[in-house]
Structure 1
Amino acid sequence: MAKKLDPQEIEQSRRKKTRADNREERKERIHDGIRKNRESGGVIVIPPPPVVQAQGQTTRKMRVAAYVRVSTQEEQQVGSFEMQIVYFKSKIESNPDWELVKIYQDYGVSGTSTNKRQGFKDMIDDAKAGKIDLILTKGINRFGRNTVDILNNLRTLNALAPPVPVRFESEGLSSIGDGSNNLLIAVLSALAELESQQKSEAIKNGIRWRMAEGIYQFSVINTLGYYWDHFGRLLIEPTEAKIVEYIYESCLEGATPAEIAAALTEQGIKSPKGKDFWRAATIRGILRNEKYCGDALMQKTCTIDFREHKSVKNTMLNKYFKEEHHTAIIKKSDWQKVQQILDEKPLSGKSTRLHAMPKRFTVTRSKDKYFRGYIILDPRWTASERRELLKELKNL
């Protein structure tokens, strides 16, 4: 039978050694183990076997793609966009071991969400299809400014077989590497999102300041009868203004929005968005729009989440109203009569016989991008219609 232990003796022996003594003993054991290992020849490192190339088989080049993006269509961004394309094309084609797949592009699209970035989505789809081995991009803020989107897409690419790494040129990081790289990418992604949020708030504050001062250039891209020229002046487009006058006159004569829409469709007049078919809701929106009597109500809508860019009806923030902000197409008194008509109806079921537009053709001006203010010509116009147009333009 084993000899009984003396618990008091054991506890006294334990108490003699402090924690510091125990730490020193562990350190000494570690150093002693390292010394003995080295004296005995050390550990032999066995590398993996080399890949044996089959006879007659050539080494496949790495298929490399690049992603470039700028968030606005301003002229100063054009240079950055083109330089990114030239840089990556040159970098990939100058490497004998690389093969250019494609330069995926998104021009004038925000990076806060991937929903509207078609070039980005095409690149992810091609990577999933096994067409890409490596992706190059300028920086994390080019890949996206939404932390969730960035990390989710990197995880998707890393989970492919084989994984597709993303190399961020500005930060000198690769999405496939040690844990410190992954942590750093997550931190930088969060910083990029914060930067995007701060820029969004700065832009909104600037817009609201211009609204309060009455100098904000609201969009008229889908507004009939007006266009901004290159000098920042809001001008009347004469031929489109005739459509607006026709709509208001028809309403004052008793026609419903549905009847006006049907009449314009029948006459072959294009809608504000260039459609062949007019909707009653479009007519109602034109009749309710205060801009046609020269006033401007600004911030009717607002964007709640800078990531989604979804515009909603403004019920939370200040609106800004400026009377006689610009030249009117419709007299104020007529506009007010139309508002009373719309407020008092459901309109009667009587059908109103509408007169036709006096013109068989209308012209439009480009309202955005580089050709803003220029007239869009229709090759189907007759010579007399062209002369009539030139005559009207000279009278402006």
Structure 2
Amino acid sequence: MKNITKIETIKEMPKRLRVAAYARVSSGKDAMLNSLASQVNHYKNYIKSKPEWEFVGVYTDEAVTGTKELRDEFQLMLSDCRAGKIDMIITKSISRFARNTMTLLKTVRDLKAINVDIYFEEQNIHTLSGEGEMILTFLATFAQEESRSISENMKWRIKKDFEKGLIWGSTSMFGYKLENKKYHIVPEEAEIVRFIYSLYLEGYGDRMIRTILDEKGIKPYRTKTWGVTTITKILTNYNYTGDLILQKTFIDNHLTKKLKHNKGELDKYIVNNSHEPIISKEIFMEAQAIRKNKAKKFAKSSSYNNEFKGYIRCGKCGKMHTYRKGPYNIYWICSTFRDKGKSYCDNQQVPDDKIKEAAIHLLNMNKFSMPIFKHLVQQVVAQPNNILRFELNDGSVKEYEWAHKPRSEGWTDDMKEQARQHTLKRYRGGSAK
């Protein structure tokens, strides 16, 4: 008689769901930041308590309004979703995710296409469920209308304060403290402002001033080191003269939350002798004349149209890459590295021609075309080790490894002549003829 032994099928272990959370607060105040910290702890503990879930991380944004799309951590989270690192996102509510219905639904649909679920706790909605998108559309439309109504009421209140010459909100300005809607000098900070202006009038640029302050151990408030943009804002802020210009900027609309410079679209309000000045009007105007002259020189020397602006993101810190013109090439460099140095982000710069080379190869172009690039590409992530990750609008991801080309191979006759003239100038100690 035959002896038959049944071999049971090996049951596949259930796959753990890779879960991340997104948290956001809309103000930089201490109470709000504490709220953000508590949200992070809540989600971390909650996700880790589920044995069927694998904790990916908590993505957080501070002091950015929900109707604005360019949130660094939010964008990094979406990038990780497209890279296949996340299966589900948990967030508190629709208003924490986005109040703009179009942005919300586009994000939901993009993630749905790659099978990534979003769970909104307050509304108890899973976007991958059958009725999820229909309910979400209704609730998001309501949230958007509420945002518009709040925005209109806020504009009316701000206008009334401006008409009285009052500062709106908690607008901070280094060198002053704001009490009862009036600026009062902080003596030690005011000395730093005067020092910054004196350096600028001596011929030092914004970046060099930043370096000098850091080397002298002079600290800004709120951050450990000085940013170039902070120096620029100090050197261009007319309010340091004791007069106050109100409504220099305004919010374009409640959806984009884009801050625009007021070029006559709305009334401006000038309050003379509003507060004690830190610098004289003469010093301020001299600094502006120097800046204007530098801008003219830069405009003459630069003809590059900065076409990849807003597309290249650092794969290490998540910040955008910015354009830098070298003597022989155009480069894209991490803004963290540019503003704070290598100790904060050591990702390498990417030659402009290598991005075009990658685009031609990955997007099947005969030659580089910016309109085609914009049509197909959402963003390019500059990864370490010479890897460019193209994240496309259809949700797919493509990678390209580029290599440094020996400089001699890429030199044109014009570049060789520039190098020759540069060497002659160095040795003659004057201008090359």
132-141 or 202-211, which deviates more: 202-211
- Alpha carbons of 1:276 and 1:113: their partners in 2 closer, same or farther (altered >3 Å)? closer
Contact 2:166 2:181 in 1 (8 A): no
Aligned positions of 1:1-396 closer than 5 A: 55=10, 57-118=12-73, 120-160=74-114, 163-178=115-130, 180-216=131-167, 226-228=175-177, 234-239=183-188, 241-242=190-191, 259=203, 268=212, 286=235, 290-314=238-262, 315-330=264-279, 335=281
Contact 2:238 2:244 in 1 (8 A): yes
Distance 2:133 2:152 in 1: 29
Distance 1:101 1:278 in 2: 33
* 2:352 alignment counterpart: none
Contact 2:19 2:88 in 1 (8 A): yes
Distance 2:197 2:163 in 1: 30
Percent of aligned pairs with the same amino acid: 30
Distance 1:340 1:105 in 2: 42
1:99 to partner: Cα distance: 2.3
Secondary structure of 1:130's aligned partner: coil
Contact 1:269 1:276 in 2 (8 A): no
State the one-letter code of the partner of 2:259. S
- Alpha carbons of 1:229 and 1:165: their partners in 2 closer, same or farther (altered >3 Å)? same
Contact 2:197 2:287 in 1 (8 A): no
Contact 2:243 2:275 in 1 (8 A): yes
Secondary structure of 2:159's aligned partner: helix
Secondary structure of 1:114's aligned partner: coil
1:61 to partner: Cα distance: 1.9
Give a deviation string over 1:9-34, Cα, whole Å, max 9, x none. Answer: xxxxxxxxxxxxxxxxxxxxxxxxxx
Secondary structure of 2:56's aligned partner: strand
1:159 to partner: Cα distance: 0.7
Contact 2:86 2:116 in 1 (8 A): yes
Give a deviation string over 1:257-285, Cα, whole Å, max 9, x none. Answer: 684759x8599457999769899x959x8
State the one-letter code of the partner of 1:175. T
1:155 to partner: Cα distance: 0.8
Contact 2:68 2:255 in 1 (8 A): yes
Distance 2:106 2:27 in 1: 25
Give a deviation string over 1:289-323, Cα, whole Å, max 9, x none. Answer: 54334221111222213333332221111212222
State the one-letter code of the partner of 2:158. I
- Alpha carbons of 1:342 and 1:127: their partners in 2 closer, same or farther (altered >3 Å)? closer
Compute the RMSD of aligned alpha carbons: 4.3
1:231 to partner: Cα distance: 6.9
Distance 2:228 2:42 in 1: 46
Distance 1:106 1:338 in 2: 35
Q: Choose between structure 1 and 2: higher strand proportion.
A: 2
State the one-letter code of the partner of 2:16. K
Distance 1:154 1:91 in 2: 23
How high is the TM-score relative to the length of structure 2?
0.53
State the one-letter code of the partner of 1:291. N
1:335 to partner: Cα distance: 2.8
Distance 1:191 1:208 in 2: 26
State the one-letter code of the partner of 2:120. F
- Alpha carbons of 1:167 and 1:219: their partners in 2 closer, same or farther (altered >3 Å)? closer
Contact 1:304 1:310 in 2 (8 A): yes
1:158 to partner: Cα distance: 1.0
* 2:381 alignment counterpart: none
205-214 or 184-193, which deviates more: 205-214
Give a deviation string over 1:19-76, Cα, whole Å, max 9, x none. Answer: xxxxxxxxxxxxxxxxxxxxxxxxxxxxxxxxxx952643222222221112222344
1:146 to partner: Cα distance: 1.3
- Alpha carbons of 1:266 and 1:301: their partners in 2 closer, same or farther (altered >3 Å)? closer
Contact 1:241 1:329 in 2 (8 A): yes
Higher relative contact order (CA 8 A, sep 6+): 1
- Alpha carbons of 1:259 and 1:94: their partners in 2 closer, same or farther (altered >3 Å)? closer
State the one-letter code of the partner of 1:320. Y
- Alpha carbons of 1:114 and 1:312: their partners in 2 closer, same or farther (altered >3 Å)? closer
State the one-letter code of the partner of 1:136. I
1:215 to partner: Cα distance: 2.8
Secondary structure of 1:297's aligned partner: strand
State the one-letter code of the partner of 2:59. Y
Distance 1:238 1:290 in 2: 18
- List gaps (5 residues or longer) in structure 2: 1-7, 294-433
How high is the TM-score relative to the length of structure 1?
0.57
* 2:408 alignment counterpart: none
Contact 2:158 2:168 in 1 (8 A): no
Give a deviation string over 1:116-152, Cα, whole Å, max 9, x none. Answer: 242x222222222222222221111112111121111
- Alpha carbons of 1:102 and 1:269: their partners in 2 closer, same or farther (altered >3 Å)? closer
1:248 to partner: Cα distance: 8.1
- Alpha carbons of 1:54 and 1:126: their partners in 2 closer, same or farther (altered >3 Å)? farther
- List gaps (5 residues or longer) in structure 1: 1-52, 251-255, 348-396
